[in-house]
Structure 1
Amino acid sequence: MKLGKFYFVNFLLLSGIFFGCSDDRTAGGVTDIGNSIAGRIYLADGETPAAHARIVAYEDSWKNSNIADSVETWSDSLGNFAFDNSAEKMQLLYASQNAENFLAASIQDSMKIILGNSKSLFGKIESEFSGSVRIVGTNLSAALNSDGEFSFDSIPAGNISLVFVKNSAPQSHFEFSANSAKEKISLPALKAFSESDSLLVFADASAYADTSLGISLSDAATAISVSLKSVPSETLRGFVLPVKFNNQIDFSLFAEPDSFKITDERGNDLSFEVDYWTPQASQGVLWVRLDSLLADCEKVNLYVIHSNDSKKSRAYLPADSILAALHLFGDEKFNSSSDTSKPFGFIGYGKKIHAGEFISLDSLNPFTHNFTLSLWAYWNGKNGHHQILFTKRASPDSLLFQWYYDTINSAFSIYNVAHWDSIPGAVSAVDTNSWKMLSLVSKNDSIAMFVNGEQIGEAISFPLYKILDDIPFLVGGNEVEEESWNGAFDEIRVVQKARSAEWLRLEYETQSAAKN
């Protein structure tokens, strides 16, 4: 669906305050139990600690009609405060002392909050003549008059999510910063971005040139909305989303990935890398790292912004326990100089494996703790030989780890020095002559195989053998020529953590949506 192109660098991009499914709402201290929220509060001068200030963490979002829950604490004499294991749904923070306050849109485990003075707010929703607007994280609400206008006498300083509510249901939202020294904020008229989207944007492009609003026309932004087939049941952090582009953007404007950047709804720059980018065919796939893919998220809204000073970094980060992420578009290390051919893979190009060939990951070693191995595999079927998925072996006769099709037992199997086992049901699930996402998860001395994001049978007791030898880690084959994989590979991943079933399901669904 083409959402259209519009030009803006408004509050949402300058101040980084858009709420969305890809928000980084919690930082590194987050655990599966809840948020570890701590920080320090200062008065408006940015230097004087706000002693004994009130701090409230709210469960609220623009999708709600009102606040669902809250917890409260107070800062100490030095302005320090902390919440221990607050619910993960607590995503907003309000702080106040006397007449100064602040509304934070992004909860982190270490925050610096500078209080400010409340503001009055005036605005208008174009072509709307009834309903109301509310400010997320507060009990503030204002009715629209017959001209679609609304006003608030006093809103907090900080990051504001303004929600248009009609027939008691949230319809759309607009995000902006109320951090300036102004006592009054007058927003230009707002309108729905499109009938099928929940964003509000400026109705009149001339408002973008109003420098008093801190807005310029120097960059071009195109909105991209990625709908999820099914919503996550848990929040996934550091999730890498493949985004397929065709007619959603102007490829003449965004011809070179080095000349644009990707941001989330709140204006935060997102790391991304290119699988393929073919402007002449108006096609491409980018892999975009989301700080958070929130539970119950239905879609991810992104912006592609023309920028000459954009800074690129890989989407698959070592900080996320990623040891290897190969797109097989020239980033693999192949052992053979023979003609391997580059058939179209599952996403972009893949690699056909011939007898005696394999992809080397050098001395990469995920076998010191929990791990996940994943790839897309096209299987031509049985050929009377073992067929390798992943292996670490010191020699043809010295096997340390192997995940493979076992021709003797007609089963997909796993092996290490201490153990061997087959995976019942995997052969029929993998099938032949079609692409399948295969994943192997080792967690707490058990191992499970997933096909297309679904676990095959029960997890198998499989004590981890900690391989410490500096030997090659190979994909698709080994030194035994006839044991190479009979088919093709694409999108190889090695992760030093046990991915959850929900993570693998979302990987399968989002990658399937970006397939060739």
Structure 2
Amino acid sequence: MDTLFKYASGMALALFAAGLTSCSKSDETAGGVTDIGNSVAQGIVVTEANQPVARARVVAYYDNWDKTSIEDSVVVEADNNGIFSLKFDSTRSVVIYAENGSESGLSRIQKGGDALVMVGHPRRLESRVAEAKSGYMRIVGRSDVATVKSDGSFAFDAMPVGEISLVYVESDQSQARLNFMTAVAGDTLKIPSLENKNEGWLTISDYHYYSGAAYGGIMVNVPDGISVPQDTATPEPVVPDTTAKDTTAVDTTEELAISLNLHMDGSDSVAKVYNNDGSVADSVNYVEGVSGKGILLKVGQFVEVGDIDPCAGDFTMSAWTKWSGYRGDGIYQLLFAEREDWMTGLSRFQLQYEFMTSSFVAVGDGMDLSGYGYAWLAKGNVERGGTLPMNEWSLLVLVNEGGKLYFYINGVLVSNKAGVPFAPKEVAAPLPFRIGGSEVPNDTWNGAIDEVKIESVARSAEWVKAEYEALAK
């Protein structure tokens, strides 16, 4: 069965039992609809910092982009761990909305009936529809509308975070939509002019929004076959790199500013295991690794190797992992992170798996609207159309060369062949470098980790392939 929650480790179904409250006295939906089917959605509400939200109000709205208003709703309340469960009619299009105080967010129910809802402070949204002179804009799952003025401009004062479907309505008919995911950005999103030239889809004239990264504070989602702007600039001539590169899979004698080769079996003197509160872990789980023993971190644990800064220039980070997928308690899992405290801005870089998009993403400065602070690398989970197998040993390698990232899984480049532009966040001093988690408990990587390398050099594709073949089983 295709479900995020089947990967939950030791989580009882009772955790998802949230009290169901109805919008009407006689049934579980508003408007007197009684036949809502027998499907059950199970999910969790978290903040943008990946912390669970206790007692959040969760609403399932029956709505879709081709409608002009919400048809119905089901309301529940999350428990003290942010977990909720609700019944819904799977034959109808459903949007999940959650709120807690002033924070709110939108999401969708996955095919398996699971939902991850991220809440945050609402953003002001400003844009315009090219050549439009009337009508209004709506957000699927919300009742608010924004009037389209004679110059095509419109604005929402308080747009929720998360998965947004922005719809242009004219003459009481839904014309087209723009689907996007919000990134962690400022208080206002300003999206360039929207073109209504693809049947049913709005597009942005700036090609940067379709570069596979979060640009301008959003990550745009368009289906295959939809025409989007392309970068037509003539690329600068590429000067061949004649520097000899090491392509062996063994340690070299070259002198690097950073060169860590960690076996993750308790023998690495520089690697310490901590709990998310900063205390030294007194119980560490070492398991069978890809070579000898590896480490299986408990929720809230991470490995720290000191204040090093591989992001100062080119780098290669690699790790073998036997990944177990979604654990049921957050929207991110971190493999590498140069950070001390995300909430206070002490974060320079992290490589994470995002369950909202089922993708590997490198994050530098989430407030950098240029797109260089948030680099989408590749779809992750094989069972969701990605590239990372579950429950078997795989090698993940991230290379930064000249400000572009190259991401490999099992010796194969899975990110853009031209490299993904990326810039780490500027910080005043080096931060702790962490493996497998952070100060946030839910960030812990869900799977065994072994044979980690962190080097201040950009390794070649041949080197990556040789690394994989040396230990592949």
- Which TM bucket (shorter chain)? 0.3 to 0.5
Rg larger in structure: 1
TM-score (norm 1): 0.38
Normalized against structure 2, the TM-score is what? 0.41
